[in-house]
Structure 1
């Protein structure tokens, strides 16, 4: 059972959308999907080798109550930073979700 007291962080889930303005120009932007309470389960910085040299990546795991419409194409915002969803793991039978995220280069 997920305890409400542990959900002490607030994250905003966002979805990439494309719309057309009044001039007919396509506008692509991140739109807020939901603002939810979350538990910060794990936060790490991993270093590894890439083709252009050593690199570090900030990884974070959020635990939230179950939601049906979240996909790995969405992202989470926490403390002004954007995180791409890399994996969504269901906890129990629709009790909660672990969102495994990696920090993006954009804000």
Structure 2
């Protein structure tokens, strides 16, 4: 993986407890886990008709250096959008990580 190809900056976020209410209930929100450089392998947009109107999916595949602990429970913040991680794939023997992400718009 060449460093020159890692030309995007993405933030990996985790849904975590950020505090408590005065009543003691937990406050859950997305918090930044890591900000890393990545390469976009593929980006596609698909529009289609749904029962409630027109919808669309934006799918992006990111490639980045290995980062331990990234799962489909995390999400990506990139270019003002939030993308759900649908699949993670190890490249080599922990050399890199490929993240297949999807943003669902309504």
Q: Could you say which TM-score interval applies, normalised by the shorter chain?
A: 0.7 to 0.9
Aligned to 1:95: 95
In structure 2, relative to structure 1, the CA distance for the partners of 1:90 and 1:49 (3 Å cut) is farther
Aligned-residue offset at 1:51: 4.1
Conserved 8 A contact 1:61-1:98: yes
TM (norm. structure 1) is: 0.87
* RMSD between aligned residues: 1.7
Q: List alignment gaps of at least 5 residues for structure 1.
A: none
Conserved 8 A contact 1:43-1:61: yes
Determine the C-alpha separation between the residues in 2 that align with 1:88 and 1:57.
Answer: 18
TM (norm. structure 2) is: 0.88
Aligned-residue offset at 1:52: 3.1
Aligned-residue offset at 1:28: 1.0
Conserved 8 A contact 1:82-1:104: no
Determine the C-alpha separation between the residues in 2 that align with 1:73 and 1:67.
Answer: 15
Aligned-residue offset at 1:31: 0.5
1:29 counterpart = 2:6: no
Displacement over 6 Å in runs of 4+: none
In structure 2, relative to structure 1, the CA distance for the partners of 1:21 and 1:30 (3 Å cut) is same
Q: List alignment gaps of at least 5 residues for structure 2.
A: none
Aligned to 2:47: 47
